[in-house]
Chains A and B, each alone.
Chain A
Amino acid sequence: MLLKLTLNSLYARLLTVGMTVFAISLSLMLYMSVEKLRTSAYTSFTDTISQTDLIVGARTSSVQLLLYSVFRIGNATNNITWESYEDVIDRKEVAWSVPISLGDSHKGFRVMGTNNEFFKRYKFRGGQSIELEKGNNLDDLYDVIIGAGVAEKLNYSVETPLIVSHGLQSFSDHDDQPFRVSGILAKTGTPVDNTVIVSLEAIEAIHVDWSTGAKIPGQLTPVEEIRQMDLSPKNITAALIGVNSKLQIFQLQRWINEYPEESLSSILPGVALQELWRIVGVVENLLLGISVTVIFTTLIGMTAIIFSSLNERRREMAIWRAMGASPKVVIGLLMLEAFIISVMSIIVSTVMLFLTLYVLQPWIDNTYGILVNIETLAVKDIYIFMLFILSASLVSLIPAIRAYWFSINDGMTIKI
C-alpha cells in the first residue's frame, strides 16, 4: 500500500516530478557522456596500434620512439641502418616486420616510406586492419597512398598529383619527382589518417640528388634514369616487429637493446602508450573531475527539489502521522520517493544517452577519431548507478528529517 500510495503521490505531482526526473536525467546523461568519452578516448588512444609486439628505432626514450614512429610527432634522434634492420629481422623470433622511413612532408602532413606489408600488418582498435577506400596499393615508384584526413583536408582524390617537400618545414620541394595519389585509406581514427604513404624506394629516389643532405646545385638526375637505379633503402627510421611467440618478446627486446653494431632501442607499444597516456592523463583527470562534480551537483539538485516540495507535501506528512505513521515511515516515504525518482532518472538518462550516441557516434568518430562504444553499459556505470541510488536515498534523509519535524510540530494544526 505504501508503494502504491507513493506512486500515486508522485503521479499526482507529475509535472514537478517529471521535470525533476528530466533535470536529474540530463545531469546523469552528462556524467555518462563524459565517462563514455573519457574511456573511449583512452581506448582509442591505446588502440592506436595493436598486435605489434615491438617497435625498433635508434637509441632514444620509449615515449619519443612511440611519438615519432606511431603518432608522427617530433623527429627521430637518428636513423638505423638497413644492415642492422636485417640483422633484427633475421632473428628466429621475428615473424614479420614493417620498416618505416620518416623525414619528409607534404603540406604539413608527414610522409612515411614503407612497403605494402604495412597495410597488412598495421592493426588498430583491437585488430582492425587499414583498408583502401579508393584506388590501389603502391605499385609504381611514384605512387602515394594518403590517409582519409589528408584526402579530406586537401580535397585530394585518386590520380591527384602531389609534390613531397624535403624535411618537415622546408622550402625545398622534390618537385622534380612528382607523385600521384594511387589510393585513399578508409578512416581509422589513428595518425594514419594524416599520413602520406610512399614506398621506401620512393624515399631513396627523391633523395638521389640530395646525397649531402641538401639539394646539389645543378644536379638533376632524370626520372627515367632514377627508375633504373638500385633504390634499396640504406637507412630507415623505425620498424614494427611481430614475434612468433609472445614469450619471446622480452628475449628479442633484450637482444635488440644490447645490439653491438649500433645503438638501438626496442619498445613494447602497449607499455609506451600507457606511459604516454599518463603524461597526457591530466586531461583524463579533468574529465574525471567533471564527472564527479556532475554527480555531486545532481545529488544536491535532487535534495533541493525534495526540499522545495516539502511545503507542498506538509499536509500529506501530517495525515500520515495522524494515521499513526511513525517517524520511520515518514522518513521512509521520502527516501522511497528519492529511490523511485533516481531509478526513473537512471532509466531515462540511459535511454537518452544511447539515443544521442546512436545519432552522434559516426560524427564523433569522423571528427575526433574517437570510437564511442554504444553497445552496453560498463560494469562501472552499474556500480555508479547503484551508488547514485544509495546516495540519493541517503541525501533525501536531510529533507526527510525536516519533514518529520514539520509533522511533529504540525500535529493537529495543519491548515495549509
Chain B
Amino acid sequence: MEKSNLNEKTIQINSVKFHWSNKSKFKLHIPELSVVKGEKVLLLGESGSGKTTLLSLICGFLAPLSGNIQLNEKLINNLSATKRDQYRSDNIGIIFQQFNLLPYANVIDNILLPLYFSKLRSANVSDQRETAISICQSLRLPEDVVNMKASELSVGQQQRVAVARALIGNPPLVIADEPTSSLDTDAQNIFLDLMFSQVASSNSTLLMVSHDKSLSSKFDRVIDMKNVSVKEQ
C-alpha cells in the first residue's frame, strides 16, 4: 500500500452512538474507527451488525446521536442535512448492493448523474461524455452499451456502470455496500480487480462492506464490526 501521508485520515470516527428510537433493540456504538487516505478497507460483519447503518452515518444520510464523524478532517455531523447532502455529493461515490441505476436513463446519463449535483466533481472533469466513455472502457464495458438504457444491461454491466458512476469526478472516498454479493468467485475477482484499478487511478479511498471473509486478502485492511462496535442493550 502506497499512501501520500499516513496521518491523513479520510474517515475518522470517535464515540459515535446511534439508534432509531429508544425502544429499538439495535444500538450502534463505535468508540473509534479510522481509514487513511488511499486505503482499501473491507468492513466485515454479520447481518444486523450495523454495517449499513455505519455507512449511512458516514455518507451523511443519518446523523449520529452523539460522537464525531470526520471526513477528510471535516466534521460532518454538525452540518445541516442539506450541507451533508452537498458534502456527500462532492466527496463520496457510492456503489449500492443492487447498483441502483436509473432504469430509464442511458449509461452516460447514469454515470454523469453525480456531476449534476456536485460542482466540485464536475470541475474535475473537462469533457464529461468523453470521461464517462473512458471510464467505461477502463471497466471493459463494450462501446455500444454507453447509449443503452440501464434496464437493458446485464447484471455485470450494471455493476460496472455503478462503479463508473461512483468514480466520476474523482471523489476522495468510495463506499461500496456488498457489490459482489450476487457474483460467483471468478466474476467477483474480475470485478474487484477492475474496481481497485479505477479507485487507484482516481486516488480515492475505498471502504467496502461485505460479509464474505474470503475477500479479506484483496484489501489493505479488514475491519470487523465485532471489533469496532460495542454492543449495547
A contact residues vs B (CB 8 Å cutoff):
1-2, 4-5, 8-9, 11-12, 315-316, 318-319, 321-329, 408, 411-415
A53-B7 Cα distance, complex, nearest whole Å: 98
Name the A residues within 8 Å of B104 (CB-CB).
Answer: 5, 8-9, 11-12
Specify the chain A residue showing the minimal Cβ separation from B91: A324
B117 contacts A325, CB within 8 Å?
A: yes
A5-B88 Cα distance, complex, nearest whole Å: 21
Name the B residues within 8 Å of A315 (CB-CB).
Answer: 100
B86-122 Cβ-contact flags toward A at 8 Å (1 or 0):
1011100010111011111100010011101110000
Q: Among B62, B82, B102, find the residue whose CB has the most chain A CB atoms closer than 10 A.
A: B102
B36-58 residues with Cβ-Cβ distance < 8 A to A are 52, 55-56
A8 contacts B105, CB within 8 Å?
A: yes
Name the B residues within 8 Å of A408 (CB-CB).
Answer: 61, 81
B85 contacts A324, CB within 8 Å?
A: yes
A411 contacts B85, CB within 8 Å?
A: no
A318 contacts B100, CB within 8 Å?
A: yes
B contact residues vs A (CB 8 Å cutoff):
52, 55-56, 59, 61-62, 81-82, 85-86, 88-90, 94, 96-98, 100-105, 109, 112-114, 116-118, 151, 165, 177
Min Cβ gap B64→A in Å is 13
Q: Among A4, A319, A413, find the residue whose CB has the most chain B CB atoms closer than 10 A.
A: A319
Name the A residues within 8 Å of B85 (CB-CB).
Answer: 321, 324-327
Name the A residues within 8 Å of B59 (CB-CB).
Answer: 322, 411-412
B86 contacts A319, CB within 8 Å?
A: no
A323 contacts B114, CB within 8 Å?
A: yes
Name the A residues within 8 Å of B81 (CB-CB).
Answer: 327, 408
Name the B residues within 8 Å of A4 (CB-CB).
Answer: 109
A411-B58 Cα distance, complex, nearest whole Å: 11
Specify the chain B residue showing the minimal Cβ separation from A414: B100
Name the A residues within 8 Å of B86 (CB-CB).
Answer: 324, 326
Name the A residues within 8 Å of B62 (CB-CB).
Answer: 411
With contact pairs A322-B59, A323-B89, A324-B89 given, residues A2 and B116 touching in the complex (Cβ less than 8 Å): yes
Specify the chain A residue showing the minimal Cβ separation from B86: A324
A412 contacts B55, CB within 8 Å?
A: yes
Specify the chain A residue showing the minimal Cβ separation from B100: A319
With contact pairs A5-B109, A9-B104 given, residues A414 and B88 touching in the complex (Cβ less than 8 Å): no
Q: Choose among A9, A323, A326, A413 the residue that contacts B113 (Cβ–Cβ < 8 A).
A: A323
By Cβ-Cβ distance, the 3 closest A-B pairs, closest first, are A324-B89, A12-B104, A411-B61
A318-B151 Cα distance, complex, nearest whole Å: 17
- 8 more contacts with CB within 8 A, not counting A1-B109, A319-B102, A324-B114, are A1-B112, A1-B116, A12-B151, A324-B118, A326-B82, A326-B85, A412-B96, A412-B177
A414-B52 Cα distance, complex, nearest whole Å: 10
A327 contacts B61, CB within 8 Å?
A: no
Name the B residues within 8 Å of A318 (CB-CB).
Answer: 100
A344-B62 Cα distance, complex, nearest whole Å: 38
A328-B86 Cα distance, complex, nearest whole Å: 12
Specify the chain A residue showing the minimal Cβ separation from B89: A324
A319 contacts B101, CB within 8 Å?
A: yes
Min Cβ gap A214→B in Å is 87
Min Cβ gap A2→B in Å is 7
Min Cβ gap A294→B in Å is 33
Q: Choose among B117, B151, B177 the residue that contacts A323 (Cβ–Cβ < 8 A).
A: B117
Min Cβ gap B121→A in Å is 9
Name the A residues within 8 Å of B61 (CB-CB).
Answer: 321-322, 408, 411-412
A322 contacts B118, CB within 8 Å?
A: no
Name the A residues within 8 Å of B109 (CB-CB).
Answer: 1, 4-5, 8
Q: Among A1, A9, A319, A322, find the residue whose CB has the most chain B CB atoms closer than 10 A.
A: A322
B117 contacts A324, CB within 8 Å?
A: yes
Specify the chain A residue showing the minimal Cβ separation from B98: A415
A319-B98 Cα distance, complex, nearest whole Å: 11
A316 contacts B102, CB within 8 Å?
A: yes
Name the A residues within 8 Å of B151 (CB-CB).
Answer: 12
Name the A residues within 8 Å of B116 (CB-CB).
Answer: 1-2, 323
Name the A residues within 8 Å of B113 (CB-CB).
Answer: 319, 323
A324 contacts B90, CB within 8 Å?
A: yes
With contact pairs A412-B96, A415-B97 given, residues A5 and B52 touching in the complex (Cβ less than 8 Å): no
Name the B residues within 8 Å of A411 (CB-CB).
Answer: 52, 56, 59, 61-62
Q: Among A2, A9, A324, find the residue whose CB has the most chain B CB atoms closer than 10 A.
A: A324
Min Cβ gap A360→B in Å is 39
Q: Among B55, B86, B105, find the residue whose CB has the most chain A CB atoms closer than 10 A.
A: B105
A5-B112 Cα distance, complex, nearest whole Å: 12
Min Cβ gap B102→A in Å is 6
Name the B residues within 8 Å of A11 (CB-CB).
Answer: 104
Name the A residues within 8 Å of B103 (CB-CB).
Answer: 12
Name the B residues within 8 Å of A328 (CB-CB).
Answer: 82
Q: Please, could you name 9 A-B residue pairs with CB atoms under 8 Å apart, sorted by A?
A: A5-B102, A12-B103, A316-B102, A322-B96, A323-B165, A329-B117, A411-B56, A412-B52, A414-B96
A8-B62 Cα distance, complex, nearest whole Å: 30
Name the B residues within 8 Å of A5 (CB-CB).
Answer: 102, 104-105, 109
A321-B165 Cα distance, complex, nearest whole Å: 14
A322-B165 Cα distance, complex, nearest whole Å: 11
Name the A residues within 8 Å of B96 (CB-CB).
Answer: 322, 412, 414
Min Cβ gap A215→B in Å is 87
Min Cβ gap A296→B in Å is 32
Q: Choose among A1, A327, A413 the residue that contacts B82 (Cβ–Cβ < 8 A).
A: A327
Specify the chain B residue showing the minimal Cβ separation from A10: B104
